[in-house]
Every structure is written in structure tokens, then in C-alpha cells.
Structure 1
């Protein structure tokens, strides 16, 4: 998949746990884990926005596109 999820990197930079972020954005830890591993087909803009607000970042910091 050409979309790379860098959520784990941003979480590590901000020293935020999966449990903490999941609670803050209103998703389960299991769904957050699937997102971190790139095992989802999509993400709601609302969820992405909450992640960016909480981690003080931009969508491009969380998601990247690699053209093979």
C-alpha cells in the first residue's frame, strides 16, 4: 500500500501511549492499533483531525504517500 502510517512515530515524539490517545480521540485501543499498523481501509477526517489536535501535528506528519 502506498500510504504509510507514521502515527507510532508521532506518538513516540509526544510520549503519548496508545491508551491515552485512544481515550482522547474516542476510539478503542484495538482500532487505534489497527490504524497504527496500516490495517484499515480508511480513516474519518474527524478522527484524523482529533489525532492532529491531540498530537499537535498535521495530517502529513501522520500519513505519508510513497510512490513505488
Structure 2
């Protein structure tokens, strides 16, 4: 799905999960966010993300925000 006009940020959640051999279900359990909401984020359909959620995901994946969210080419 191409980014919306004016929306140039892409989420690398799928790639980071694969690198860490972690499932979306496992991440959901670790961060306390539903699989559905993580899936929306993973598939670049999210309109916003709470800082608390972003922090929890980064902590669980042991990554920085800039590794998770990147500017689309």
C-alpha cells in the first residue's frame, strides 16, 4: 500500500520482528497491545501511535525509534 499523500513515515515492525525471531503474538503479550493494533502499525495503516506504546515496542524489540519508524523513500 503506498503511503498517503503527506505521510512519508514507514514502520519496520515486520522486519524487526523477523530479525529477532519474534512473533506478533509474542510482542503483543510483552507490550500489552492487541495483535490487531500491532498489525495496523505493521502494515503502515496507523494514523498515530502513543508514546507509551512506542516506548514499550522499542523496549521489547531492544531498538531505537529510528530503527522502527523510518522515512519512506
Of Structure 1 and Structure 2, which has the larger fraction of its residues in helix? Answer: 1
Count of equivalent residues: 67
What is the alpha-carbon root mean square deviation over aligned residues? 1.1
Unaligned runs of 5+ in 2: 1-6
Give how far 1:38 is off. Answer: 1.1
Within the candidate set 35, 41, 45, 1:39 is matched to: 45
Instruction: Report the TM-score, using the length of structure 2 for normalisation.
Output: 0.86
Unaligned runs of 5+ in 1: none
Which ranges of 4 or more aligned residues in structure 1 deviate by more than 2 Å?
none
Give SS of 2:15's match.
Answer: helix
Higher relative contact order (CA 8 A, sep 6+): 1
